[in-house]
Structure 1
């Protein structure tokens, strides 16, 4: 049976926001699942867990995060698509899963548009171009380009997988400059970042919040941020637009339910998620990542997702990436 909620307002202790109180559930003892399609401590995982705590208080039931990773997020997405459409299973989707994979994989076990019902957008997390301790001679974007042009393929960049947004974003930055780099893919963000920090690889594109944390040891440097404006966490890092590249590249996050979920359930979940994104703890967490809460309607999310597929599909076709 589908999730049912009665709307009454109260103040959730410790969060300081008005929330939906005491929803009536067909089976109150059931747990609501948020599937994160990437590894623990990944950006997707951080966002899912950040939402789970206030959402649990709002809905009056346990909300757990389940990591189902592999195939560029496809394993978790497929699991969410096959789940009962009763409102008890959600997917924390992101740009890789919903807008990139349809073009990089020859065959997907899910269809982003057919198999999912958009619930709410969550945030844009801007990315940053980050150089590790292996290259103390690179302290600006112009340094990076000049050295790469003098030695084509001599500088390496890490990504969390072939066809991932980390690879595609780096290529979108590098190609207009005419410089070429050696791509070194890894099986996740954590090993890719570690490779840069340990001087195995020179540079990478990663979430801005993670980049800011990495610079605190003084051995690493952020060359640019791919956001519309400079970020409070990285005030000295110029935007790509300031450097002559009018690019804004983010790892956006959004919440989805299985496509067969009834419209009233989607509407109720959207209200609950909007409330959850007002929680001070969630706002603080998301700002630390360089983003801000951006709840919206299911219709807005659907339109945004369609436009993103056009953009990333063109990039994948240009790079001629095809995965099995």
Structure 2
């Protein structure tokens, strides 16, 4: 027998409340986050923190799979080819999503065609450091003066040709009207070690790493490439304060294979928003000078387009072409 009209009016709000009370997510097996860089890298640290925060939200284990090589391209391709069912997430970074399309001649994936944006994660601001090789360089002004006195004599390290560490330094150098010798390495760890060992003079690194290196002695943080001063190095000026309006971050965001249904993308976005509120995740990002910045897929797509324009212009100017 059909409910009385008055009963319908009473049932509908109750049914709506019941639906809202149901779990929005219905995952029934392990999820994985593909990290395109090696264990111990910034990407890996963020991916593992995110996995730990996401697991209790989705009610399933979340594992991190490191698929590194080719500037993050190997991991990107693996994630792009994964089943589009919401169980494989990709932690994309600026290198993989905004730089590689311009540096690699035959890129095996297309960031726009092969991925659907889910949510932004965080900006990790970069900082410019000077190592023990040049103890007289105590400030950004010192660095500029030394570089202009002997163009190309000072050296800077990066974690690879065409990497954001190279491109960020070149953006700073060109804005300051200086010239340096580029010394590329095969990763962030050997590049940083080269600076600490006085083999290379300066480098752009994540602000968290810069603060740790300065605490341990031997390096000075000359500037931060962020909109505001960073609490980890509060005495260090921003590039904008020094007359260079540049903000250069190693941002991360979550993507899924392009064919993933929109309802699944929406579920993952909601889960990530909740996960990024976890105190442990917030603290992990704080140690890297970042904060959680969840957002909509549409906002991430728009941001990414702007980043490609900015970094692509530098790649074209330097004429970097990788196989």
Decide: shared fold, TM above 0.5. yes
Q: Note if contact 2:86-2:264 (Cα within 8 Å) is conserved in structure 1.
A: yes
Q: Which has the higher helix share?
A: 2
TM-score by length of 2: 0.92
Aligned twin of 1:280: 279
**Structure whose alpha-carbon radius of gyration is higher:** 2
- Aligned mates of 2:24, 2:253 — CA distance in 1: 25
- 1:70-81 correspondence to structure 2 within 5 Å: 70-81=69-80
Aligned twin of 1:37: 36
Q: Does 1:320 align with 2:319?
A: yes
Query: 1:8 offset after TM fit, Å?
Result: 7.1
Aligned residues: 306
Aligned twin of 1:241: 240
- 1:109-258 correspondence to structure 2 within 5 Å: 109-258=108-257
Please give the per-residue CA displacement for 1:166-218, whole angstroms capped at 9, x wherever unaligned. Answer: 00000000012222111011111111111111111111001001111111122
Q: Note if contact 1:22-1:60 (Cα within 8 Å) is conserved in structure 2.
A: no
Aligned twin of 1:263: 262
3-state SS of paired residue (2:160)? coil
Aligned twin of 1:16: none
Aligned twin of 1:15: none
Q: Note if contact 2:31-2:88 (Cα within 8 Å) is conserved in structure 1.
A: yes
Query: 1:133 offset after TM fit, Å?
Result: 1.3
- Aligned mates of 1:23, 1:303 — CA distance in 2: 26
Moved over 6 A (4+): 6-9
Q: Note if contact 1:7-1:23 (Cα within 8 Å) is conserved in structure 2.
A: no
Query: 1:132 offset after TM fit, Å?
Result: 1.0
3-state SS of paired residue (1:316)? helix
Aligned twin of 2:9: none
Q: Note if contact 1:131-1:221 (Cα within 8 Å) is conserved in structure 2.
A: yes
Gaps of 5+ in 2: 1-17
Aligned twin of 1:14: none
- Aligned mates of 2:242, 2:104 — CA distance in 1: 33
3-state SS of paired residue (1:224)? strand
Please give the per-residue CA displacement for 1:133-167, whole angstroms capped at 9, x wherever unaligned. Answer: 11111100111111112222211101011011100
Aligned twin of 1:67: 66
Give 1:24's match in structure 2, choosing from 15, 26, 29: 26
Gaps of 5+ in 1: 1-5, 10-19
Q: Note if contact 1:141-1:224 (Cα within 8 Å) is conserved in structure 2.
A: yes
Query: 1:21 offset after TM fit, Å?
Result: 5.6
- Aligned mates of 2:48, 2:136 — CA distance in 1: 38
Query: 1:22 offset after TM fit, Å?
Result: 8.9
Aligned twin of 1:52: 51
3-state SS of paired residue (2:111)? coil
- Aligned mates of 2:151, 2:19 — CA distance in 1: 61
Query: 1:7 offset after TM fit, Å?
Result: 8.2
- Aligned mates of 2:251, 2:161 — CA distance in 1: 19
- Aligned mates of 1:82, 1:7 — CA distance in 2: 34
- Aligned mates of 1:177, 1:22 — CA distance in 2: 51
Please give the per-residue CA displacement for 1:267-320, whole angstroms capped at 9, x wherever unaligned. Answer: 000000000100011111112211111100001101111111111111111111
